[in-house]
């Protein structure tokens, strides 16, 4: 079958070739988080011709995102679009041959099976270890490769995880760091080039995995500091690192079982808290708009409803979630949610 002109230069690369390109076009990648990393990764994979992309993100586009999240624009901010929906809109315009599935949702133990079903690779664009540990559990149980990544300031890192071959994330980080002990975009800031660089590494690894170029896949943790011009490659030897790992050695998937995780999560780089009531909750946004009008200014689009109330802004999603901007206090966020939405 002749190669689509769109991918002609890519298929000339001998590491990929026509056969690898055909595999890409039949593949499915799931991007979890469509912020700085995830939006870049989704853009690169859509342009590469990955046949199906599922985009999962719980947040909406804000103006502070635009300096580093290059897939979005001012119209997305004005409309208050969820990042997954905005990303899907732009990517469909970039490459209509790719099937794009937008999932404006909080990934949790109750929905990961449905949202990630059929994935050939999972890509980390998240901002917290709780979700990463959940992805790690799912990937190990389903024997699906995934690519861990993070960036803050001018520093970023990435590691490809091949279940049963390489160490997993829990091998390296047995317990999530306590809140307030690690730098975030809010405390350290971030420059756009580090997000672009780390996302490029992720996308290249995903292309290798999906095209069947298994021998080329990295077995190292790659770390880069763009400001101080430092690059490190750390060999991840499973035999020396994985001993005693609760996930890949013991097969205990605590996060996938739903036994761990918080109802309220402080968002990275944001003066905001997400409240999630758990699976099985749905909100009728039109009816809720009428009920909440006496409390303060309300606006609604097809994806979410915003309410200004007691010095904060609540963005309420149809799946029951709320992002409460204007506070870092999880207890206050939960209390406001219960008062406005109900328990």
Domain residue ranges of the chain, discontinuous segments joined by +: 5-241, 264-340
Say if residues 82 and 60 touch (Cβ distance below 8 Å): yes
- Is 99 a residue whose pLDDT tops 90? yes
Q: What is the pLDDT of residue 338?
A: 78
Alpha helices by DSSP H, 190-297: 192-211, 238-241, 285-292
Tokens of 166: 């390489």
Q: What is the pLDDT of residue 331?
A: 77
Instruction: Check residues 186 and 205 and name the one with the higher pLDDT.
Output: 205
Question: Measured between alpha carbons, how far is 30 from 118 in angstroms, rounded to an integer?
Answer: 9
Domain 264-340 top-level CATH class: alpha beta
pLDDT, one tens digit per residue, over 271-282 is: 899 998 766 678
Residue 96 burial (CB count, 10 A): 10
- Is 319 a residue whose pLDDT tops 60? yes
Q: Are strands 264-266 and 230-235 parallel, antiparallel or unpaired?
A: unpaired
Question: Rounded mean pLDDT of 159-182?
Answer: 85
Q: What is the pLDDT of residue 185?
A: 74
The model's confidence at residue 130, banded by pLDDT at 50, 70 and 90, is confident
Question: Measured between alpha carbons, how far is 59 from 65 in angstroms, rounded to an integer?
Answer: 11
Beta bridge partners of residue 146, listed in sequence order: 122, 161
Say if residues 55 and 99 touch (Cβ distance below 8 Å): no
How many residues does this entry show for the chain? 343
Per CATH, the architecture of 5-241 is what?
3-Layer(aba) Sandwich (3.40)
Q: What is the pLDDT of residue 268?
A: 77
Domains 5-241 and 264-340 share a fold: no
* Cβ-based burial of 86 (10 A; exposed 0-12, middle 13-18, buried ≥19): buried
pLDDT, one tens digit per residue, over 42-96 is: 999 999 999 999 999 988 998 989 999 999 999 999 999 999 999 999 999 999 9
The dihedral sign for the CA sequence 127, 130, 131, 133 = positive
Q: Which residue, among 200, 32, 46, has the nearest Cα to 121 in the 3D structure?
A: 32
Average per-residue pLDDT for the chain: 92
The model's confidence at residue 181, banded by pLDDT at 50, 70 and 90, is low
Q: What is the pLDDT of residue 259?
A: 64
The model's confidence at residue 156, banded by pLDDT at 50, 70 and 90, is very high
Q: What percent of the chain has pLDDT over 90?
A: 72
pLDDT, one tens digit per residue, over 199-230 is: 999 999 999 999 999 999 999 999 999 999 99
Dump the DSSP string for 73-90.
Answer: -HHHHHHT-BHHHHHHHH
* Cα angle, residue 300 at apex, residues 299 and 306 outer, rounded to 5°: 55
Q: What is the pLDDT of residue 114?
A: 97
């Amino acid at each position: 079958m002749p190669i689509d002109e769109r991918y002609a230069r890519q298929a000339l690369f001998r590491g990929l070739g026509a056969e690898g390109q055909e595999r890409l076009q039949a593949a499915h990648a799931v991007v979890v988080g469509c912020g700085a990393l995830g939006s870049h990764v989704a853009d690169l994979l859509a342009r590469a011709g990955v046949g199906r992309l599922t985009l999962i993100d719980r947040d909406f586009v804000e103006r502070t995102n635009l300096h580093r999240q290059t897939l979005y624009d001012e119209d997305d901010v004005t409309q208050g679009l969820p990042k997954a929906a905005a990303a899907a809109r732009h990517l469909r315009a970039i490459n209509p041959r790719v099937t794009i599935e937008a999932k404006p949702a909080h990934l949790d133990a109750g929905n990961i099976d449905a949202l990630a079903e059929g994935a050939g690779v999972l890509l980390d664009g998240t901002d917290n270890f709780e979700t990463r540990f959940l992805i790690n559990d799912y990937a190990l149980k389903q024997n699906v490769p995934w690519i861990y990544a993070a960036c803050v300031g001018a520093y970023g890192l990435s590691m490809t995880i091949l279940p049963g071959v390489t160490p997993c994330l829990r091998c390296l980080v047995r317990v999530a760091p306590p809140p307030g002990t690690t730098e975030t975009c809010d405390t350290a800031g971030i420059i756009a080039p580090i997000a672009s660089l780390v996302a490029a590494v992720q996308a290249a690894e995903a292309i290798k995995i999906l095209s069947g170029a298994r021998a080329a896949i990295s077995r190292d943790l790659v770390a880069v500091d763009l400001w101080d011009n430092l690059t490190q490659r750390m060999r991840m030897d499973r035999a020396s690192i994985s001993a005693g790992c609760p996930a890949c050695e013991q097969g205990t998937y605590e996060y996938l079982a739903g036994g761990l995780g918080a109802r309220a999560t402080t968002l990275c780089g944001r003066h905001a808290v997400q409240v999630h009531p758990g699976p099985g909750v749905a909100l009728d946004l039109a009816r809720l708009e009428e009920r909440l009008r006496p409390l303060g200014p309300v606006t609604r689009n097809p994806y979410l409803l915003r309410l200004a109330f007691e010095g904060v802004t609540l963005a309420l999603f149809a799946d029951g979630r709320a992002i409460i901007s204007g506070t870092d206090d999880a207890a206050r966020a939960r209390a406001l949610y219960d008062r406005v939405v109900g328990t």
